[in-house]
Structure 1
Amino acid sequence: MTRSKKTLTCPAGVVTEDTYRSETAHTTIYRFLEEKCNCCVLKNKCTNRQKGRTVSINDNYHLILKAKEYLSTDEGKAELKLRPSVERVNGVLKNRFGLGVTKSWGANKYKMQVY
């Protein structure tokens, strides 16, 4: 899908301007009309909703694209191989030592709980 200003184009070429903001989720949500989606030949690949398709695009979507691009490089692949060892330690801290649930608010108090 391509996005420019306040429009979004689906793979079938249908353009929508029906959009609204969700400030709590920091996203822009685009709606494709039910009439257009139900008669589309790509509907089965696109959505299974009967009321048309909605697409949410986060304000930080450009960062996701940068991360995917970086992880496809040799340096990114090398760093990705290190992740399981780090995640294993995080899992032990969370599950065995109770760091999955904080007992107080604030970064300083959380650091005290870790110690």
Structure 2
Amino acid sequence: MRNETANKYLFTKYDALGRVAYTGFYTATIGQQSIQDSLQFNRAVNRTNYEIQKTTAQGATQIGDTQVFYSNSSYPSNNLEVLTINYYDRYVDYGVAEAMDWSFPQVFTTSTLLRTL
């Protein structure tokens, strides 16, 4: 999705298993063809088209005004505004006070953080 006047694009970044890691807006300073060329170059050079989930010990990645417990290595990686973040498979302290009850068999679910307006 694109806003014609502001060069704002909706982006989605994935983890290694193809699950949505985080989404947001990318404000482009270049044209659409240059964006496509940059995306192809990034995939050819870095050979990475996914983000890696981080632990609290590794520390968060600062993206704009949002801390994200994922890498930010796939394109685009700058001029981003994060809207949603999904965490999978393990518990990480995201600054939300939660009581975890580990007495039942483990079923790992997605933890999603949303930006509010």
Which TM bucket (shorter chain)?
under 0.3
Structure with more contact order per residue of length (Cα contacts < 8 Å, sep ≥ 6) = 2
| Structure with bigger gyration radius | 1
Q: TM-score, normalised by structure 2?
A: 0.23
